[in-house]
Amino acid sequence: MNVCFLKQDIKRTLQDKMLWISLIALLAILVHGMVTYTDMDRSAGISTYVYIVNAMALSGFGPFAAVFPALGYAVRFCDEYNSGYLQMILSRTNWKTYGVVRLISVGISGGMIVGIPFACVCIIGYVTGVHGVPQDGFLEGTQAVYYLGKYGDWFVLGFKVLLGVLFGVLFAFVAFAFAVWSHNRYVTVIAPFVLYETMWVVLYRYQMFNPIYLVRGDDIDSYPLSAFMELVYIILAVVISWIGLGKRAKNE
């Protein structure tokens, strides 16, 4: 792998305005949901997980979750392809090196866009709320009670953030796959949302396979299974992207 190229691409990723706009917009939506539906007074004795659930479930984030990571660095491929800059890059390095580097950069972009807001929400909930198993029965009958009792708060909070990161990586890769196959900015941004909504409707009765139920982990009542299914989808998106990159490279 060309380490210099990787460093430069990651640097461009972190300088991408849409990454930060998407990240801040998502954070604002989640915090607004938390503040709107939760008493933020620490003396109220509200569970940490009430804060987190209100932010993630009642903020309106769920139906539009795929939009935010799709707005990140994946779109850059369309600009490079349509401007001819991709041809210049491939004249200096092979397409496989380019593909690995760009997948890493796109993954970082998507992971940050969802993962950082999720981490902020978890930190706010932990600092403001009451730790441990909620005494008011809020999580009664869920696996979260078992996780909290056996592993503690940081296991649950860590998985929440991990699921957010994986979800962001997944739909950043989905956007990248659409970018590679279509090289159209509008398709790259809109198609992942359309796919996400379609899967929501079609897989409504099959929650284990439905991305909207995987991002929080609570809906299918298993954080490890949610993470595993997100990883499966990530691998599928990478394979589709990789095949598309190979075809594009042959046409250059």
- pLDDT (tens digit, 9 = 90+) per residue, 86-140? 888 888 888 999 999 999 999 999 999 999 999 999 999 999 989 888 877 788 8
pLDDT (0 to 100) of residue 38: 87
Nearest to 170 by CA among 233, 104, 240, 100: 233
The domain tally of the chain equals 1
pLDDT (0 to 100) of residue 252: 59
pLDDT (0 to 100) of residue 221: 83
* Surface-to-core class of residue 140, CB atoms within 10 Å of its CB (0-12 exposed, 13-18 middle, 19+ buried): exposed
Which residues span the domain enclosing 126? 3-251
Nearest to 184 by CA among 60, 54, 82, 72: 82
pLDDT (0 to 100) of residue 61: 86
Low-confidence ranges of the chain (pLDDT < 70): 1, 252
Residue with tokens 């640097």: 11
| Predicted TM-score of the model (pTM) | 0.94
Asked if residue 214 lies in contact with residue 231, where contact means CB atoms within 8 angstroms, the answer is no
Grouping H, G, I as helix, E, B as strand and the rest as coil, residue 47 is: strand
CA dist., res. 242 & res. 122, Å (int): 34
The percent of residues above 90 in pLDDT, for the chain, comes to: 67
Tokens of 99: 């593909």
